[in-house]
Amino acid sequence: MIPMHKVFMPENIEEVIDPLREILKSGWIGEGNKVLEFEKQIGEFIGCRNIVALNSCTSALQLALRLCGVGVGDEVITTAMTCMATNEPIVLTGATPVWADVQPGTGNIDPESIREKIGIRTKVIMVVHWGGYPCDLDEINAIAQEHGLKVIEDCAHAWGSKYKDKIIGCHSDFACFSTQAIKHFTTGDGGILVCKNSEDYERARSLKWFGIDREHRHENNLGVAEWDIVEAGYKFHMNDIAATIGLAQFPYLDDLVTKRQTNAAYFDECFQNLPKVELLNQSDDRKSSYWLYTIKVQDRERFIKFMSHKGISTSIVHARNDKHSIFANYNSTGLKGLDDFSKSMVCVPVGQWVGADEREKIVWAIKSQDW
C-alpha cells in the first residue's frame, strides 16, 4: 500500500541519533541552545528573525490569538476547510469563529467572503493555505489594513511554499507552522510562530513559558533566579530533544519540497482532460509545497475504495469544521464554495516516498477511471 503520509527521517538514521545521543547525555533536554539554533535556522530560511519555537502549531495559533487580544465577545473570521486545530483555539479564547466561504477551485478562503463577514466585533482574519497552496495574501492583508484587523496565517501545510517569489511566513502579522510527525519535516511534534512585529515577538517569548522573561534572568542573594511575572503565560516552549531531531533534517528540506513539487507537476500533466477528475486552480504568482496533492473527483466514495483496492491510500485529510458538534452554534449557511469543494475533493500521495514506480502506479489507477 502506498501510504498517504509518511514520517521523514534521513536514510542514515545516525545523522539524527548521534546528535540526539549527545543531548541526552548532556543532561540538558529542556529548552536550551538547540532550540535557539533551530529558531535561527528557521529564521534564515523564512527571512525573518522573529521566530519562536513551540510544542505545536496549535500552541502557535493560540499564542497568536492572545497577542492579537482576542477574547470573549470578539469574532475571528476563519475557514471551515481545515483541521479542527485551526479553529478550536478560537473557541478556547471565548471568541466566535465566523465562517468565510472558500474558493471552490483551491479550497482557500475567499477574500470577497471575508469582506462580507466583517462586523463591529471582528478582530482577526485567520487563513489556511490548503495543501500548501498560498491564499490571496495581498488582497487579504489589504482588507485587514482597511478595517484595522490582524491576519494570522495557519501555515501547517505550507512549509517552503512561495507567494510572489517570497517564502510563506513573512507576509502577515503572524504565521504558524507545524513540525508534527507527518509534515514536510518533523521535530517529533512541534510548532513555529513567526511575528512580524518585534514587540509581539518579545511578548511571545515570555508568554510561551509562564510569562517568564528568561532573557533577563537575575539571581537574589540566595542564588535563586527571580523574575517579575507581569502576565500569565503557558507551557508552550519547544525542548532541545525536539529541536535536535529537526536540525538533523535541515540539509534535506529543499529536496523534500522539490520532490513533492516534481510529483505534483507530473500528476498535473497526466490528469489533464480526464472526465472524472478536476484539477485545482493555480496562479503563476505563487507555488505550493504540496503537503497535499488535492483533486476533485466524481463518485468520491467509490474512488477511495477503488484506489485502496489498487494498493493506494487516499484521504480527504480534514473534514469541514462547521459540521463538528462543537461548532454547531455558529452559523454555517451560505457557504456554496465550501459545499462544492468539500463534497468532491480528495488527496493522493505526493511526498518523497512516491518514487517513479509509485507515481506510475497512482497515474495508471486514476487514468483508468474504473471507479
Report, as residue numbers or ranges, the catalytic residues: 183
Any idea which residue has 529564521 for its cell?
43
Q: What per-residue string of b and e applies to 192-211 under the rule 16 or more CB within 10 Å gives b? A: bbbbbeeebbebbbbbbbbb
Amino acid at 363: V
The region that residue 303 occupies, defined by phi over 0 for left and psi between -120 and 50 for alpha, beta otherwise, is alpha
Report the alpha-carbon distance of residue 131 to residue 318 in Å, rounded. 11
Which of these, 169, 147, 145, 170, lies nearest to 159 by C-alpha position? 169
Please, which residues bridge with residue 191 across strands?
Answer: 54, 178
Report the alpha-carbon distance of residue 246 to residue 346 in Å, rounded. 29
Report the alpha-carbon distance of residue 341 to residue 347 in Å, rounded. 12
Q: What per-residue string of b and e applies to 137-175 under the rule 16 or more CB within 10 Å gives b? A: beebbebbeeeebbbbbbbbbbbbbbbeeebbbbbbbbb
Q: Is the dihedral of CA 86, 91, 95, 98 positive or negative?
A: positive
